[in-house]
Chain A
Amino acid sequence: MIKYDAAEVGEIETGKCKIFNINGRSIGVYYNGENYFAIRNVCPHQQAELCKGKISGTTLASKPHEYIYGKDGEILICPWHGWEFEIKTGQSLVDPDRYKVKVYDVSIENNRIMVYM
């Protein structure tokens, strides 16, 4: 695994995802105010630029006609067909074993955001 210098701390605003080209791959780096997350900018469905979608919460599994909102800031929604992915794991909510987006480890060193690939 190689460590790549992606950006400076502060370059990504809280709640935003910024897209970088890292080692020839398009990767979104998201900052939730506490931690940084790196996720491949390609939806496994039709190859749309996933990280241009909305970061959101979503409805959690519930009984019919019961609505429970949760996972605020933990879900990335594809701007094309609305597929939802867990930012932490890259797994799709509907079919987590079949549809996954690659996620990468991130660390902070000397005020730089480092992505491990």
Chain B
Amino acid sequence: MNSDKMKKQSKFNHGIIDCDVHQGVKSYEDLKPYMPRVWWDRLNAYNATLPFLLYRPISLERSDASPGNELPAGSDPGFAKVDFLDRYSIDRAILTGNLLSVSAHNNPDYAASLASAFNDYTLDTWIPSDDRWLASIVVATQDPLLAAQEIDRLGSHPKVVQVLLTSGSREPYGQRRYYPIYEAAVRNNLVIAIHGGGEGDGINPPTTAVGYPTTNFERHNILAIHHMSQLNSLVCEGVFETFPTLKVVFVEGGLAWLPHLMWRMDKNFRGMRSEVPWLQRKPSEYIIEHCRFTTQPIEEPDNQELIQMLRMMRAEKTVLFSTDYPHWDNDSPLFVLNKLPEEMRRRVAYENAVELYQFNVNPIGAGGNSR
């Protein structure tokens, strides 16, 4: 489909906010100016830059979205603006980066430095290139105190909207060692995003709780267990009682597992509430108030079944649209949004994100954008 036709068809009577777009570097050399000399040699060393244990039959970055000269997709903001923002008439796009196994590295100081350098690179290179880009700052969770320092260092930047953690972690995120991260996020009025990444890599536990899958197919089918485990931990440990203003968005974990988990949590709460006396409400109520879930990779059952599932998870409140551009399993806006009934589409495509990120918006078409 040519881009003019695509643009015409994507003009719903509301805007589109994309909550998961991946930007990256052209090469790790780009990060050197932002990093102490002591870490530079690791940026070019085989298997030392970031841990990664995976063969992908299809490359992570879309081969048809390369800006040319064999550069990786997502490494050129000017190209991404035309190939993505303009082509699909995206109003705002939240950048989530590609440092998705940084928290799996064995060296917490190197990991923290790499995350800081990547954040500075994003703010210097991507954010000034177009008003529609918004930034996540990625933090390395090995040392939550260093992570909190990074959040305080950049959290007041007007284009930073969230703190990004990966779903792979050494311990479940509800545990108290991570609270400095949530304190800093709340202090800086930032959302926490938990994006897939780092599962089974480096110092993290295996890709599944029963061991390592043999193929990427088997791995990809089951990835959402990490999002499930993190959500379960945050709710059960009372994180939303401790941090009543905290909001958490679960990115790239799919959706259909949520009704299952909410029902199971609410049922079990009736009989096992005494273990978690700090919970004042049903688990699902914390989830619907505090947590959001992005669409990609959307499940693809029969459309009636998809809509039923979305209603079960209160999508009109809990679901945010995302493409995952320019990764191989990205969803095009038309493909996803055309499946939804109009009222739900408006909430998912635009309004839920406006409310979560507290965007100041003028009426559609007036072109307002203060964040």
Contacts and interface: CB of A to CB of B under 8 A. Distances in A.
Interface of A: 26, 42, 45-49, 52-54, 77, 79-82
Contacts of B64: 48-49, 52-53, 79-80
Interface in B307-336: 328-332, 334-335
Contacts of B332: 46-48
Given A47-B332, A79-B328, A42 B1 contact: yes
Contacts of A46: 331-332, 335
Contacts of B1: 42, 47
B328 A80 contact: yes
B335 A82 contact: no
Interface stretch (B55-63, B91-99, B202-210): B55-63
Name the prevailing secondary structure of the A interface residues: loop
Interface of B: 1-2, 57-58, 62-64, 328-332, 334-335
Contacts of B334: 47
Given A26-B2, A42-B1, A47-B1, A79 B62 contact: yes
B213 to A, nearest CB: 14
Contacts of B2: 26
Given A47-B332, A79-B328, 15 more contacts: A45-B335, A46-B332, A46-B335, A47-B1, A47-B334, A48-B332, A49-B64, A52-B63, A53-B63, A77-B58, A79-B63, A80-B64, A80-B328, A80-B329, A82-B57
Contacts of B62: 79-80
A37 B1 CA distance: 20
Contacts of A26: 2
A52 B1 CA distance: 13
A106 B58 CA distance: 30
B256 to A, nearest CB: 18
Given A52-B63, A53-B63, A82-B328, A47 B58 contact: no
Given A48-B64, A53-B64, A54-B63, A80 B330 contact: yes
B110 to A, nearest CB: 33
28 contacts: A26-B2, A42-B1, A45-B335, A46-B331, A46-B332, A46-B335, A47-B1, A47-B332, A47-B334, A47-B335, A48-B332, A49-B64, A52-B63, A53-B63, A53-B64, A54-B63, A77-B58, A79-B58, A79-B62, A79-B63, A79-B64, A79-B328, A80-B330, A81-B58, A81-B329, A82-B57, A82-B58, A82-B328
